[in-house]
Structure 1
Amino acid sequence: MKNQVLSLGSVFPDFKKTAVVSIEKGKEFYELSSEELKNSGKWLVMFWWPKDFTFVCPTEIAEFNKHHADFTDREAILIGASTDSENVHLAWRKDHADLKDLTFPMLADTSKSLAEELGILEANEKVAYRATFIVDPEGIVRWVSLYDLSVGRNVKEVLRVLDALQTDELCPCNWQKGEATLA
């Protein structure tokens, strides 16, 4: 039986997972929980990639990192995640030049329990699809995007959708922040 992708209007699942937050010795890991995120009163943008030490994934992670301040400016917490372990995340960050200075956590879902609850585990390899969730401050999923394993996503589109959701108004096709919304 296949899991259904967690959809709009659903409550984002509770979790407590280890994340890589630094490559500085003794400060590498942090225990991140959904409760902490809910208590922040901020939006959550969680994006998933299939595997560390691959080719498309670091291009996305680096691009999200370039725009981390844009998410912060929008009162959104940015978290990257995969089913790889925190030790693999750390080794990859140390090994890949574009990942050394990440400014957001890399969540390790080694049990695959969160990916499974989100319904984003690929059936054969049991790795996460390229999924992005935007969750409002009340913990409700407001946007879900899934990409095939071979295709990278568009970070500017994630920001555009976040902007539109935060207006709490009707936004027409191709709407950009600063443009008029629909009356």
Structure 2
Amino acid sequence: MLQIGVEAPDFEADTYFPENKEIKTIKLSDYRGKWVILTFYPGDFTFVCATDIEALMGSYDKFLKEGAQIFGISEDSVFSHKAWSDTSPRVSKSKIPLIDDYTKKIATEYGFLDTKGYQAQRGLVIIDPEGKVQYIAMFNNGLGKDVRHIYGAFMGLKVLHDTPEGEGHMCAIPANWEPGEKPLDIDVVRDIGKL
């Protein structure tokens, strides 16, 4: 089972890049040095999935500016991804590359394949620049993704990643934290019971 802090399973897969209307083979490890957000969804030509892509696309440039690359992944081929991108009013506006997981290998390795073995469950994984998993979320297939939360979680993880911790101190992101706010600088002995 995938866990926080472990190295994300590497993979190589054909990917449809809608911005250039081309298919390229990518490797996850080629993106070391960048944050990677893998958004898993059950399938092309489905209803909530199109809203996920549209919502993520609404903040796509903000993620890119902060050094993150978003990829969509489902158990569809790149040809299905292209057809969906060409025909869906929502998806046709997207620049988010769509990964082919027709063999279900990626969904299986990441723990997102449903119990029947048919499709990926709706969810998300955030991987840091060193290739370590820092965030995992999986939820009901009828529940669309909350991009404000995803962006806030990503920015919080970025602060944790980039903030050096002094001796005996811990950097932490409190509940309801907003990007731009200061993180908590906790003295792990002195601050016990004070928050």
Instruction: Normalising by structure 2, report the TM-score.
Output: 0.86
Residue type at the aligned position of 1:12: A
Residue type at the aligned position of 2:179: K
Do structure 1's residue 86 and structure 2's residue 88 form an aligned pair?
A: no
Give RMSD over aligned pairs: 1.3
Paired residue for 1:37?
Answer: 31
CA-to-aligned-CA distance 1:14-69 (integer Å, 9 cap, x gap): 11101110276xx421111112112xx11111101001111110000111111100
Correspondence list, 1:1-183, <5 A: 4=1, 6-22=2-18, 27-38=21-32, 41-124=33-116, 126-168=118-160, 169-183=171-185
Give the whole-Å Cα distance in 1 for the aligned partners of 2:88 and 2:28.
28
Question: Counterpart of 1:143 in 2: which secondary structure?
Answer: strand
Give the whole-Å Cα distance in 2 for the aligned partners of 1:135 and 1:23.
23
Between the two structures, name the one with larger relative contact order (CA 8 Å, sep ≥ 6): 1
Question: Counterpart of 2:172 in 1: which secondary structure?
Answer: coil
Give the whole-Å Cα distance in 1 for the aligned partners of 2:45 and 2:26.
23
Identify unmatched segments of 5+ residues in structure 1.
none
CA-to-aligned-CA distance 1:124-149 (integer Å, 9 cap, x gap): 25200111001000000000011111
Give the whole-Å Cα distance in 2 for the aligned partners of 1:120 and 1:101.
26
Paired residue for 2:166?
Answer: none
Instruction: Normalising by structure 1, report the TM-score.
Output: 0.91
Residue type at the aligned position of 2:180: G
Give the whole-Å Cα distance in 2 for the aligned partners of 1:180 and 1:68.
24
**What is the percent sequence identity of the aligned residues?**
30
Bigger radius of gyration among the two? 2
Identify unmatched segments of 5+ residues in structure 2.
161-170, 186-195
Q: For this pair of structures, how many residues does the alignment match?
A: 175
Contact 1:81–1:109 (8 Å) recurs in 2 = yes
Contact 2:13–2:26 (8 Å) recurs in 1 = yes
Residue type at the aligned position of 1:180: K
Residue type at the aligned position of 1:32: I
Question: Counterpart of 1:115 in 2: which secondary structure?
Answer: helix
Name segments (4+ residues, structure 1) moved above 4 Å: none
